[in-house]
Amino acid sequence: MSRFRLLWLISLVIVLSACSERSPLEQREADAKAATTATPIRIGFVWPLTAAEDKLPAGVQMAVDEINASGGVLGRPIELVSRDDQLSLKESRLIAQELAEDPTMTAVIGHGYSDKAIAVAPLYEFNGLPMMSPSATSPDLTRNDYHYIFRNVISDSEAGRQLAIFADNQNYRRIVILYEAGSYGRQLSNVFENEATTLGITIVDRRPYRSIRNFEPIINEWSSGTSGDFDAIFIAGFNPEAAQFIRDARRKQIKQPIIGSDGLNTDDLWKIARESSLKTVVASYFHPDNPDAALQNFIQRYHQRYNDAPDTWAAQGYDAVNLFAEAIRRANGTSPSAVAAQLHQMVNFPGVTGQYTFNENGDAIDKPLILIQQQKDAFKFLQMGVEAKP
């Protein structure tokens, strides 16, 4: 054999080998067709398992175990593939790369925070692996015409809109806004202001904060009336800073009602502000006093299993697993494009935190915001959902 012919044959083998390689999406589609009842449905789960104190992993595991105990999905068991991103953006990207390029994966639940979810979404989209975030609220997650990216938590855009409607329903006509200077506070306060203005509410003043050192001049101006009269305060931020602002504002005799975003929904509100936080209304996605029958049944089963009460994130994780399971049933298989299509077509699917309908962007829409109110050492359920005045 001549040297030229040998080189030609080697080149041909290389070209044919390259042409025969499948992308992760193509391999997933092929595996979905070849799957049997003995093939587990592998779902990735990415969360700060060793750093976070929430109960989302418990809710996820409970849903998987319940589904498997009842025969699995389409007769196949769910295999949960858990990864700990350690609150690290770098680690989150490495894990996403691993899962997105693993053709045996059917879907991924995660990632925990908006900055991580936004950063890894292109990896899952490019490799055709459906991702469901149970906690990333930034509107930026679903603004890129993705087909495989979803969230089952209310976005900041929807939360801000509903909170503005609540303020209007309370007849607050002049409002001041305090917001943390990051993307969360800025985006949420902008949505709230836009909706409030549409409803005829005047935004008297709005101030960003970066640390507790920013509060004194703001409080002095608002307490003295320098910025103008107002009848409510909206806070788009997080504890402990928001709790300290409330404590210090009340000490300066600022007595107007306060509405807070979901970032205030922590024990720190009472621990830091104490009686100063009483009657503060806070956004949430879950509260155990919500009388919804499905939620109460979930709370009872969770308590029987863990001898503990679920939190918001346990309920969100539980719903995320069941949403994927239902989409797989409706798709009659694990074809990623079919699973994603079924999620996009889903209307009023009952979860423990409300009914799920997904729009073309992958957002859960028409899901009610839960409003809770700080009472002595605990939040009390106030109302489920907010409807505009007729």
Residue range 81-111, pLDDT digits in tens: 999 999 899 999 999 999 999 999 999 999 9
Kindly give, in sequence order, each residue whose CB lies less than 8 Å from that of residue 134, ignoring residues fewer than 6 positions away.
56, 109, 151, 152, 153, 313, 316, 317, 319, 320
What value does the mean pLDDT take over residues 346-356? Answer: 94
Whole-angstrom distance, CA of residue 85 vs CA of residue 128: 21
Tens of pLDDT, residues 224-261: 988 889 999 999 999 999 999 999 999 999 999 999 99
Above 50 in pLDDT, residue 15?
A: no
Q: Are residues 297 and 269 in the same domain?
A: no
Q: Are residues 192 and 211 in the same domain?
A: yes
Tell whether 248 is covered by a domain. Answer: yes
Q: Are residues 377 and 239 in the same domain?
A: yes
Whole-angstrom distance, CA of residue 367 vs CA of residue 358: 10
**Number of domains within the chain:** 2
Q: Are residues 252 and 325 in the same domain?
A: no
263-268 — which CB contacts under 8 Å span 24+ positions?
263/180, 263/184, 263/236, 263/237, 263/238, 263/239, 264/235, 264/237, 264/238, 264/239, 265/312, 265/372, 265/379, 266/239, 268/239, 268/240, 268/243
Whole-angstrom distance, CA of residue 19 vs CA of residue 168: 61
Domain of residue 142 covers: 26-154+292-358
Q: Are residues 312 and 214 in the same domain?
A: no
Predicted local distance difference test score (pLDDT) of residue 98: 96
Q: Are residues 216 and 325 in the same domain?
A: no
Tell whether 365 is covered by a domain. Answer: no
